Chain A
Amino acid sequence: MTKENNNYFIKGKKDNWEVVIGLEVHAQVLSNSKLFSGSSTKFGANPNTQVSLIDSAFPGMLPVINEECVKQAVRTGLGLNAKINNYSVFDRKNYFYADLPQGYQISQYKNPIVGEGKVLLDMPNGSKEVGIERLHLEQDAGKSIHDMDPSSTYVDLNRSGIALMEIVSKPDLRSPDEVNAYIKKLRSIMRYLGTCDGNMQEGSLRADVNVSVRKVGDKDFGTRCEIKNVNSIKFMQMAIEYEAKRQVELIESGEKIDQETRLFDTKKNETRSMRSKEDAHDYRYFPDPDLLPLNIDQKIIDDLKKSLPELPDQKKERFIKDYNLSAYEANVLVSEKEISNYYEEVAKQSDKKLAATWMMGDLFAMLNDKGLSISQSPISSSNLAELIQSIKSGEISGRIAKEVFEIMIETGDNPKKIIESKGMKQQSDPKELEKMINEILEQNKDKVDQYKSGKDKLFGFFVGQVMKVSGGKANPQLANDILKKLLKA
């Protein structure tokens, strides 16, 4: 376990600078209805069709909490190895914006539902533990659309009131790579748990990034800036790099860092200060008097813990042990629950190692190429298993298997059918092979002589000929053996 084994530095004029990063991740809770109202949470609905009188803050409207959202937050907290607080409070965070109908957001301030936890990252130079500060529940805001009219903003409140989990990390991250790994890990855990679908394009996973720098060896933290509204990991990484360099330059030229909120300009690839009101941060938090404190029975927490599915870390350990996979292989295969399920189906029906190899190589390459997820794969797990079995049994060669694989992608057919119909069975009859090879040697007497007089490299030529004549179907191992035997003679 390493915490400070870090390779990422900003080279300043005189010193090396370490980058200290903390993330506030906002994850939309998977639930049918909103946190405090009964409106639907489905993505992509027509504007303002998933809005109730509560969501649009009409006079006299009151919140009632959704029990499933509470459970989802607890599940996520358990998945983060965190302390679940039996007592928590909902506070009002007061500010004005067109997509915040109440003029306040119901959030949690001093008493969040989940306390400290930790997440393990698999980095190339070892495992890294990232601390979680807390997780709390809060309402999402609606959407302000600025580009439909030059002088007006259009407001859609569909998203207003959807439950969000805000997951605050400790300032333990030290590089853009670690940020990537952290977000992917969080996403993976929540997808395993079914508490958030982690879809950054649809906005169900967003992050604010806090960046500060300090000279390598310094123990104190520098002044941090918050970068808001970065909606992809790639942009986050670019923003962090730019911001860290900006801060180093400023400090080295004798200036101080202003603690402020910044935006990442994706066109210019730079962060800039939000020209925002100085008192934007006076949220005047106080406990929401329309709600009572939330008490969660320990029994409920214990029951939820018992019913948690196997999580990525546990699954990875099990894969390494039961399937003899390397840490790297296991890591890749547990990254998504669907992938790990697919793998286990294939492995159980064929070969553990080959399943891993074929998935991580040919299958993933094909899926990436076509922009498909594993659940959309044209090749089913049982078909891939069958293909692997065919190789293992010697029915077809590895080379032919690749051809069959391609056909499987196109047709979705099972390998046996393809092998049969295209006559792709491997030629493994020693007698037939010997006959074929003898013929080849006959036709290439001069090369045989050259080989026998020392030109070892010509062996490859003969192998090539065997493949050519057999149409690639010769069993490579057998052919090799027979070739060697006949060439010695």
Chain B
Amino acid sequence: MSIDKDKIKHTSKLARISLDEGKVDSLSKDLSNIFNFIEKLNKINTDKVEPLTSILNQTLRSRKDDITDGAIRDKVLGNAPKKNEEFFIVPKVIE
């Protein structure tokens, strides 16, 4: 299965990773090889098989509706590359 350069470019846009032409080339080769390897799965018939939904034999646990967190603004903002006292700051989105 060939993953051509257009597919690489499109996928990298979805993943928000910029790639130069050289990278696009090498990734196209790499991913084509990897997908050739993955194609093996087509050999099995899985028509009557249910996909695995959970490895565990238990149901989703829930917690009580108590306020147990938050009010830690300093901690939350503490690692931000750009911020002020109250907000995270990022470059503007172009609409």
Whether the pair B60, A291 counts as a contact (CB closer than 8 A) is yes
Q: Which of B16, B66, B70, B75 has the most CB of A within 10 A?
A: B70
Question: Chain A contacts of B88 at CB under 8 A?
Answer: 48, 98, 154-155, 157
Chain B 30-65 interface residues, beta-carbon cutoff 8 Å to A: 53-54, 56, 58-65
Looking at the complex, which of A61-69, A382-390, A409-417 is the stretch in contact with chain B? A61-69
Whether the pair A64, B69 counts as a contact (CB closer than 8 A) is no
Also in contact, A53 and B76, with CB within 8 A (given A33-B65, A279-B13)? yes
Whether the pair A38, B86 counts as a contact (CB closer than 8 A) is no
Residue of B nearest to A276 (CB): B95
Partner of A89, one of B53, B56, B65: B53
Partner of A50, one of B70, B77, B91, B95: B70
Question: Chain B contacts of A282 at CB under 8 A?
Answer: 14
Whether the pair A293, B53 counts as a contact (CB closer than 8 A) is yes
Question: Chain B contacts of A157 at CB under 8 A?
Answer: 76, 88
Residue of B nearest to A148 (CB): B87
Within the complex, the shortest CB–CB distance from B54 to chain A, in Å, comes to: 5
Question: Chain B contacts of A347 at CB under 8 A?
Answer: none
Question: Chain A contacts of B61 at CB under 8 A?
Answer: 64-65
Question: Chain A contacts of B70 at CB under 8 A?
Answer: 37-40, 49-52, 55
Chain A 62-102 interface residues, beta-carbon cutoff 8 Å to B: 64-70, 89, 96-98
Whether the pair B73, A292 counts as a contact (CB closer than 8 A) is no
| Binary flags per residue of A19-62, CB closer than 8 Å to B gives 1, else 0 | 00000000000011100011110000011111111111000000
Tell me, in angstroms, the Cα distance from A349 to B33 when the chains sit together. 83
Whether the pair A51, B60 counts as a contact (CB closer than 8 A) is no
Whether the pair B59, A295 counts as a contact (CB closer than 8 A) is yes
Residue of A nearest to B95 (CB): A275
Whether the pair B62, A295 counts as a contact (CB closer than 8 A) is no
Question: Chain A contacts of B71 at CB under 8 A?
Answer: 40, 49-50
- Whether a CB of chain B sits under 8 angstroms from the CB of A368 is no
- Whether a CB of chain B sits under 8 angstroms from the CB of A274 is yes
- Whether a CB of chain A sits under 8 angstroms from the CB of B18 is no
Whether the pair A67, B87 counts as a contact (CB closer than 8 A) is no
Whether the pair B56, A292 counts as a contact (CB closer than 8 A) is yes
Partner of B63, one of A39, A66, A144: A66
- Whether a CB of chain B sits under 8 angstroms from the CB of A172 is no
Whether the pair B66, A70 counts as a contact (CB closer than 8 A) is no
Interface SS of chain B: helix, strand, loop or mixed?
Answer: loop
Whether the pair A287, B59 counts as a contact (CB closer than 8 A) is no
| Residues of B within 8 A of A (CB-CB), count | 37
Whether the pair A48, B69 counts as a contact (CB closer than 8 A) is no
Residue of A nearest to B72 (CB): A52
Tell me, in angstroms, the Cα distance from A460 to B48 when the chains sit together. 89
Residue of A nearest to B52 (CB): A287
- Whether a CB of chain B sits under 8 angstroms from the CB of A453 is no
Whether the pair B75, A153 counts as a contact (CB closer than 8 A) is no
Whether the pair B65, A32 counts as a contact (CB closer than 8 A) is yes
Question: Chain B contacts of A65 at CB under 8 A?
Answer: 60-63
Within the complex, the shortest CB–CB distance from A74 to chain B, in Å, comes to: 12
Whether the pair B76, A67 counts as a contact (CB closer than 8 A) is no
Question: Chain A contacts of B59 at CB under 8 A?
Answer: 292-295
Within the complex, the shortest CB–CB distance from B86 to chain A, in Å, comes to: 4
Also in contact, A64 and B73, with CB within 8 A (given A89-B53, A98-B90, A293-B54)? no
Tell me, in angstroms, the Cα distance from A427 to B95 when the chains sit together. 72
Whether the pair B87, A145 counts as a contact (CB closer than 8 A) is yes
Tell me, in angstroms, the Cα distance from A12 to B18 when the chains sit together. 48
Within the complex, the shortest CB–CB distance from B75 to chain A, in Å, comes to: 7
Residue of B nearest to A64 (CB): B63
- Whether a CB of chain B sits under 8 angstroms from the CB of A431 is no
Question: Chain B contacts of A55 at CB under 8 A?
Answer: 70
Within the complex, the shortest CB–CB distance from B73 to chain A, in Å, comes to: 5
Question: Chain B contacts of A376 at CB under 8 A?
Answer: none
Other 4 A-B pairs with CB < 8 A, given A64-B61, A89-B53: A38-B66, A38-B69, A47-B87, A56-B76
CB-CB nearest 7 A-B residue pairs: A38-B68, A39-B70, A68-B65, A38-B69, A67-B62, A52-B69, A154-B87
